[in-house]
Protein backbone atom coordinates (compact mmCIF):
# COMPACT_ATOMS: atom_id res chain seq x y z
CA UNK A 1 0.00 0.00 0.00
CA UNK A 2 1.49 3.31 -1.07
CA UNK A 3 1.94 5.86 1.67
CA UNK A 4 3.04 9.49 1.58
CA UNK A 5 4.17 11.44 4.62
CA UNK A 6 4.88 15.16 4.77
CA UNK A 7 7.51 16.51 7.15
CA UNK A 8 8.99 19.87 7.96
CA UNK A 9 8.68 22.86 10.30
CA UNK A 10 5.21 23.75 11.44
CA UNK A 11 6.12 27.38 11.98
CA UNK A 12 7.92 29.66 9.53
CA UNK A 13 8.71 33.35 9.94
CA UNK A 14 7.51 35.90 7.38
CA UNK A 15 9.94 36.49 4.50
CA UNK A 16 11.66 33.16 5.12
CA UNK A 17 11.53 29.99 3.04
CA UNK A 18 9.07 27.20 3.75
CA UNK A 19 10.63 23.76 3.19
CA UNK A 20 8.72 20.49 3.24
CA UNK A 21 9.61 16.93 2.33
CA UNK A 22 7.33 14.11 1.26
CA UNK A 23 8.56 10.58 1.91
CA UNK A 24 7.06 7.89 -0.26
CA UNK A 25 6.84 4.30 0.99
CA UNK A 26 5.37 1.20 -0.58
CA UNK A 27 6.36 2.24 -4.09
CA UNK A 28 9.12 3.80 -6.13
CA UNK A 29 9.20 7.51 -6.80
CA UNK A 30 11.15 6.75 -9.98
CA UNK A 31 8.26 5.14 -11.85
CA UNK A 32 7.46 6.71 -15.19
CA UNK A 33 3.76 6.01 -14.65
CA UNK A 34 3.34 8.66 -11.99
CA UNK A 35 3.96 12.26 -11.11
CA UNK A 36 4.26 13.89 -7.70
CA UNK A 37 2.59 17.03 -6.51
CA UNK A 38 2.00 19.51 -3.75
CA UNK A 39 -1.40 20.97 -2.88
CA UNK A 40 -2.30 23.32 -0.05
CA UNK A 41 -5.44 24.33 1.79
CA UNK A 42 -5.67 27.51 3.86
CA UNK A 43 -7.76 27.11 7.03
CA UNK A 44 -11.44 26.92 6.15
CA UNK A 45 -10.79 27.29 2.42
CA UNK A 46 -10.50 25.15 -0.69
CA UNK A 47 -7.69 23.24 -2.34
CA UNK A 48 -4.95 25.02 -4.27
CA UNK A 49 -2.50 23.20 -6.51
CA UNK A 50 1.08 24.33 -5.98
CA UNK A 51 2.96 22.30 -8.54
CA UNK A 52 4.07 18.92 -9.83
CA UNK A 53 7.23 17.08 -10.84
CA UNK A 54 7.49 14.30 -13.37
CA UNK A 55 9.78 11.33 -13.88
CA UNK A 56 11.64 13.26 -16.55
CA UNK A 57 12.42 15.96 -14.02
CA UNK A 58 10.04 18.40 -15.63
CA UNK A 59 8.22 20.67 -13.23
CA UNK A 60 5.00 22.63 -13.56
CA UNK A 61 3.92 25.31 -11.11
CA UNK A 62 0.81 27.29 -10.31
CA UNK A 63 1.33 30.56 -12.20
CA UNK A 64 0.35 32.54 -9.11
CA UNK A 65 3.17 30.94 -7.11
CA UNK A 66 5.70 30.17 -9.82
CA UNK A 67 8.20 32.87 -8.89
CA UNK A 68 8.50 31.51 -5.34
CA UNK A 69 8.21 27.73 -5.75
CA UNK A 70 10.73 24.97 -6.34
CA UNK A 71 9.87 21.27 -6.36
CA UNK A 72 12.63 18.68 -6.53
CA UNK A 73 13.08 14.93 -6.22
CA UNK A 74 15.63 12.82 -4.37
CA UNK A 75 15.31 9.34 -5.84
CA UNK A 76 17.95 7.89 -3.51
CA UNK A 77 15.71 8.68 -0.54
CA UNK A 78 12.37 8.15 -2.35
CA UNK A 79 11.42 11.69 -1.42
CA UNK A 80 10.33 14.87 -3.12
CA UNK A 81 10.44 18.35 -1.69
CA UNK A 82 8.81 21.75 -1.76
CA UNK A 83 10.43 25.11 -1.21
CA UNK A 84 8.33 28.27 -1.07
CA UNK A 85 10.25 31.48 -0.60
CA UNK A 86 9.33 34.87 0.82
CA UNK A 87 6.36 33.54 2.72
CA UNK A 88 3.64 35.70 4.24
CA UNK A 89 0.66 34.98 6.47
CA UNK A 90 -1.30 34.16 3.30
CA UNK A 91 0.85 31.04 2.91
CA UNK A 92 -0.47 29.60 6.16
CA UNK A 93 -2.15 26.35 5.16
CA UNK A 94 -2.25 22.60 5.42
CA UNK A 95 0.20 21.33 2.83
CA UNK A 96 -0.45 17.98 1.15
CA UNK A 97 1.79 15.88 -1.02
CA UNK A 98 0.18 13.51 -3.49
CA UNK A 99 0.81 11.06 -6.31
CA UNK A 100 -0.68 11.49 -9.73
CA UNK A 101 -1.52 8.66 -12.10
CA UNK A 102 -0.49 9.51 -15.64
CA UNK A 103 -2.49 6.72 -17.24
CA UNK A 104 -5.91 7.51 -15.81
CA UNK A 105 -6.29 11.10 -16.89
CA UNK A 106 -3.79 12.23 -14.26
CA UNK A 107 -5.88 12.30 -11.09
CA UNK A 108 -4.22 12.61 -7.69
CA UNK A 109 -4.86 9.14 -6.38
CA UNK A 110 -2.82 8.95 -3.18
CA UNK A 111 -2.45 11.79 -0.68
CA UNK A 112 -0.42 12.34 2.44
CA UNK A 113 -2.23 13.22 5.65
CA UNK A 114 -1.17 16.86 5.35
CA UNK A 115 0.89 19.10 7.56
CA UNK A 116 -0.11 22.50 8.91
CA UNK A 117 2.40 25.27 8.29
CA UNK A 118 1.83 28.56 10.06
CA UNK A 119 3.60 31.71 8.96
CA UNK A 120 4.08 33.98 11.92
CA UNK A 121 6.79 35.89 13.70
CA UNK B 1 -6.82 31.08 -16.54
CA UNK B 2 -9.36 28.27 -16.47
CA UNK B 3 -12.02 28.39 -13.76
CA UNK B 4 -14.30 25.75 -12.26
CA UNK B 5 -17.53 26.74 -10.57
CA UNK B 6 -19.23 24.62 -7.90
CA UNK B 7 -22.23 25.41 -5.70
CA UNK B 8 -21.18 26.24 -2.16
CA UNK B 9 -23.59 23.76 -0.67
CA UNK B 10 -25.94 20.93 -1.58
CA UNK B 11 -28.40 19.22 0.73
CA UNK B 12 -29.90 15.77 0.30
CA UNK B 13 -32.29 13.70 2.33
CA UNK B 14 -30.98 10.44 3.70
CA UNK B 15 -31.38 7.72 1.08
CA UNK B 16 -32.02 10.13 -1.78
CA UNK B 17 -29.80 11.18 -4.70
CA UNK B 18 -27.40 14.11 -4.51
CA UNK B 19 -26.00 15.84 -7.54
CA UNK B 20 -23.03 18.17 -7.35
CA UNK B 21 -22.16 20.18 -10.43
CA UNK B 22 -18.88 21.57 -11.69
CA UNK B 23 -19.06 24.19 -14.39
CA UNK B 24 -16.31 25.20 -16.78
CA UNK B 25 -15.87 26.40 -20.33
CA UNK B 26 -16.19 23.31 -22.57
CA UNK B 27 -15.38 21.11 -19.57
CA UNK B 28 -16.77 18.19 -21.56
CA UNK B 29 -13.50 18.13 -23.51
CA UNK B 30 -11.45 17.60 -20.34
CA UNK B 31 -10.98 14.75 -17.89
CA UNK B 32 -12.73 15.63 -14.62
CA UNK B 33 -11.75 14.15 -11.30
CA UNK B 34 -13.70 14.35 -8.04
CA UNK B 35 -12.39 14.29 -4.47
CA UNK B 36 -14.18 13.82 -1.17
CA UNK B 37 -12.78 15.51 1.90
CA UNK B 38 -14.09 14.94 5.40
CA UNK B 39 -13.21 17.31 8.26
CA UNK B 40 -9.61 16.99 9.37
CA UNK B 41 -8.77 14.46 6.67
CA UNK B 42 -6.94 14.46 3.39
CA UNK B 43 -8.94 14.42 0.15
CA UNK B 44 -9.86 11.04 -1.30
CA UNK B 45 -10.31 10.42 -5.02
CA UNK B 46 -13.86 9.17 -5.65
CA UNK B 47 -14.21 9.59 -9.42
CA UNK B 48 -11.50 9.88 -12.08
CA UNK B 49 -11.69 10.64 -15.78
CA UNK B 50 -15.31 11.78 -15.61
CA UNK B 51 -17.00 8.56 -14.56
CA UNK B 52 -14.55 5.94 -13.29
CA UNK B 53 -14.49 4.76 -9.68
CA UNK B 54 -11.22 3.82 -7.95
CA UNK B 55 -11.23 0.50 -6.17
CA UNK B 56 -12.97 0.71 -2.82
CA UNK B 57 -15.35 3.51 -3.82
CA UNK B 58 -19.00 2.42 -3.63
CA UNK B 59 -21.05 2.07 -6.81
CA UNK B 60 -23.34 4.73 -5.36
CA UNK B 61 -20.81 7.29 -6.61
CA UNK B 62 -20.98 8.08 -10.31
CA UNK B 63 -20.00 10.89 -12.63
CA UNK B 64 -20.80 12.41 -15.97
CA UNK B 65 -19.36 15.20 -18.07
CA UNK B 66 -20.75 16.99 -21.09
CA UNK B 67 -20.77 20.45 -22.55
CA UNK B 68 -20.02 23.01 -19.85
CA UNK B 69 -20.99 20.90 -16.83
CA UNK B 70 -19.63 17.86 -15.03
CA UNK B 71 -21.76 16.19 -12.39
CA UNK B 72 -20.99 13.97 -9.43
CA UNK B 73 -24.00 11.87 -8.45
CA UNK B 74 -24.31 10.15 -5.10
CA UNK B 75 -27.18 7.68 -4.96
CA UNK B 76 -28.83 6.47 -1.77
CA UNK B 77 -27.00 9.11 0.22
CA UNK B 78 -25.71 8.06 3.62
CA UNK B 79 -24.72 10.09 6.65
CA UNK B 80 -21.11 9.10 5.98
CA UNK B 81 -21.23 10.88 2.61
CA UNK B 82 -21.44 14.24 4.34
CA UNK B 83 -18.24 15.99 3.27
CA UNK B 84 -16.73 18.61 0.99
CA UNK B 85 -16.42 17.61 -2.65
CA UNK B 86 -13.99 19.12 -5.14
CA UNK B 87 -13.79 18.76 -8.90
CA UNK B 88 -10.44 19.06 -10.67
CA UNK B 89 -9.15 19.27 -14.23
CA UNK B 90 -5.87 19.88 -16.00
CA UNK B 91 -5.55 22.94 -18.20
CA UNK B 92 -2.28 23.74 -19.97
CA UNK B 93 -0.26 21.58 -17.57
CA UNK B 94 -1.89 23.34 -14.62
CA UNK B 95 -4.16 21.59 -12.15
CA UNK B 96 -7.33 23.53 -11.40
CA UNK B 97 -9.67 22.80 -8.50
CA UNK B 98 -13.23 23.91 -8.11
CA UNK B 99 -14.06 25.90 -5.01
CA UNK B 100 -15.66 22.92 -3.33
CA UNK B 101 -19.21 21.95 -2.37
CA UNK B 102 -20.33 21.07 1.11
CA UNK B 103 -22.75 18.15 1.01
CA UNK B 104 -25.20 17.96 3.90
CA UNK B 105 -27.20 14.79 4.43
CA UNK B 106 -30.47 15.58 6.19
Could you read off the pLDDT of B77-103 as tens digits, one per residue?
A: 999 999 999 999 999 889 999 999 999
| Residues A17/A39, Cβ–Cβ less than 8 Å | no
Is the per-residue pLDDT at A102 higher than 90? Answer: no
Quick one: chain B helix, strand, coil %, rounded to 5?
5, 50, 45
Residue of A41, A118, A35, A20 lying closest to B35 (CA atoms): A41
Task: Give percent of chain A above pLDDT 90.
Answer: 88
pLDDT of the residue at A26: 95
Say if the Cβ atoms of A111 and B44 lie within 8 Å. yes
Sign of CA dihedral A110, A116, B1, B5: positive
B101 to each of A79, A120, B16, B60, how far by Cα in Å?
A: 32, 30, 17, 18
Query: In whole numbers, what is the pLDDT of chain A averaged over residues?
Result: 95
pLDDT of the residue at A57: 85
Is the per-residue pLDDT at A55 higher than 90? Answer: no
Q: How far apart are CA A15 and CA B49, in angstroms?
A: 39
Q: How far is B57 from chain A (nearest CA, A)?
A: 12
- Which of B33, B42, B98 is opposite residue A105, by nearest beta carbon? B33
Q: Which residue of A has its CA nearest to B8?
A: A46
Q: How far apart are CA B72 and CA B62, in angstroms?
A: 6
Amino acid sequence: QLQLQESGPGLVKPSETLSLTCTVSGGSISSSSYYWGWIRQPPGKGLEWIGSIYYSGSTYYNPSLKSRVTISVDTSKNQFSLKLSSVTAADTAVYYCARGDLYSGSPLDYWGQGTLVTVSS
Amino acid sequence: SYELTQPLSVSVALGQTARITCGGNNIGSKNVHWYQQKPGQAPVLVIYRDSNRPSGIPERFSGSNSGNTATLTISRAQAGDEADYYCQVWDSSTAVFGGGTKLTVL
